[in-house]
Amino acid sequence: MDEIMSDCVLWTKARTGKYGQLTWHQEHWLAHRFSWFQSFGPIPKGLHVLHRCDTPLCVNPEHLFLGTNADNMRDKIAKGRNHKGEGSGTAKLTEDDVYSIIASYPTCTIRELADDFCVSYPTVRDILKGQTWKHVTGL
């Protein structure tokens, strides 16, 4: 990874989610994408503007680089930002809940488990099918 030679420059105006946003010539931009555009020119179709610094509000062009969605996912994993399960920030279940759901399934229906744990039917179904919480279920 390239060494960052300067400090982050943080966007202080409007935001959308965790990113800065602005309108320029009646076009809506994410601030870091606009910074890239102003510094280096058009962003090729299909590419993302990624942050070396992992600071979503940073608009320092020295901290930005272009990459595909796959590059973004590899960068995320390499930097430990791919939170699973309880660490995701949006999880309604704990790992203990998932173990309980799996252990209870033979005697409870998916609907009953969903109601008991205040989650949706598809959430429980996907756990039992091994489509989610794979790191807990081992499936």
Domain-by-domain residue ranges, the chain?
A: 15-78, 85-137
pTM of the model: 0.59
Tell me how far apart the alpha carbons of residues 77 and 69 are, in angstroms, rounded to a whole number: 12
pLDDT band at 28 (very low <50, low <70, confident <90, very high): very high
Q: Which two tokens stand for residue 69?
A: 């969605």
Three-point CA angle 78, 84, 87, nearest 5°: 105
pLDDT at 71 over 60: yes
If one compares 95 and 9, the residue with the highest pLDDT of the two is: 9
Contacts of 67 (CB under 8 A, 6+ apart): 47, 48, 50, 75
pLDDT band at 83 (very low <50, low <70, confident <90, very high): low
Determine how β-strand 64-67 pairs with β-strand 27-30.
Answer: unpaired
Q: Computed from CA positions of residues 91, 96, 99, 101, in that sequence, does the dihedral angle turn out positive or negative?
A: negative
Count helices and strands in the chain by DSSP H and E runs: 6, 5
